[in-house]
Amino acid sequence: MRIASWNINSLRRRQDRLFAWLEATRPDIACLQETKCTDDQFPVLALEAVGYHSAYHGEKSYNGVAILAKAELKDVRPSLCDEVIDPQARVIAAIVSNIRVFSIYAPNGQAVGSPAYEYKLNWYARLRDCLSKEKDEEMVVCGDFNVAPEDIDVYDPDLWHGAIMCSEDERKTFRELCKVGLRDTLRLHHKEGSLFSWWDYQMRAFEKNRGLRIDAILASESLAKKCSASGIDIDMRKGKEPSDHAPVWAEFKVSEK
C-alpha cells in the first residue's frame, strides 16, 4: 500500500497537477493540505472518474484538507475527535482498509511568541490528546506539520535557530505528538540530511536546495513495522507554477481490503 501526502497550495490552481500526479504514482491513499476551496468546489466527480473516493473539509481561500483513496472511506470525521467542526479546516480523518487515516494542516504560527504561535502550540496539544484516544491499532497521520523536527531537517540550522518552525517549543510539541506511538516513516529508511519537502518561492530556494522538511507521514508502531520504503517526490516541486511543497510518501506491506 502506498500512502502519500501533499500540501498542494490551492487545489483549484493546481488541479491538473494533482490528476497528473495521481496517474503517475497511483497512491492507494493521498492526503492533501491547503486545498483552499469550499466543499462545493471540491472535484468529487472528476476524482471518482479516475478511481478515487474522497473526503474533504474546506474553506474559502485558506486551509482545507482532504483524503483520497481507492478503497471506500468510512467513519469520516472533519474535526479533532469529538469536537465540533473547527472553523479552521485543518483536520479530516477516515478509516481506509482498516487504517485510521488523518490528514492534518498544522498552523504556521507566524512568529515565535505571537498569539498565533500560542494557538499553534495549543492546537498541537489538542491533536495529541485526540490521537491518544484513538482505539485503532493501525493509524497514519499525514500532513504539513509546519515544524522541522531536527536540525537535519533544515538547510541552515544556524540561520533558522529559534525561528518559527524550528523553535524548541515547536519541536517539543512535535516530539510529544510522536510519543503517543507514532514513527516518522521517512527516517525509518533515510538518515541523511538535505531531504526537504518545502522551499520558499523566493531567492531560487528550490534550485539551491534551501529548504525545510515540514511534511511527514507518521505511522503507529504496528504499521511502521510494515513500512518498506519512503521518500519525497522532488520532481513535483519543478515545472510551471508548482506548489511550494513536494509530496511525501511511504509504502507498507499490508493487505488491502
Residues with a known catalytic role: 105, 144
Sign of CA dihedral 150, 155, 157, 159: negative
Neighbour count for residue 134 (Cβ, 10 Å): 16
Cα(78)–Cα(57) distance, integer angstroms: 6
Alpha helices by DSSP H, the chain: 15-25, 44-49, 115-133, 157-160, 168-178, 185-189, 221-224
Decide if 125 contacts 107 (C-beta within 8 A). no
Cα separations in angstroms, 115 against 53, 87, 101, 110, 167: 37, 17, 30, 9, 15
Instruction: For the chain, report the end-to-end CA distance as a whole number of angstroms.
Output: 11
Run of H or E including 216:
strand 215-220
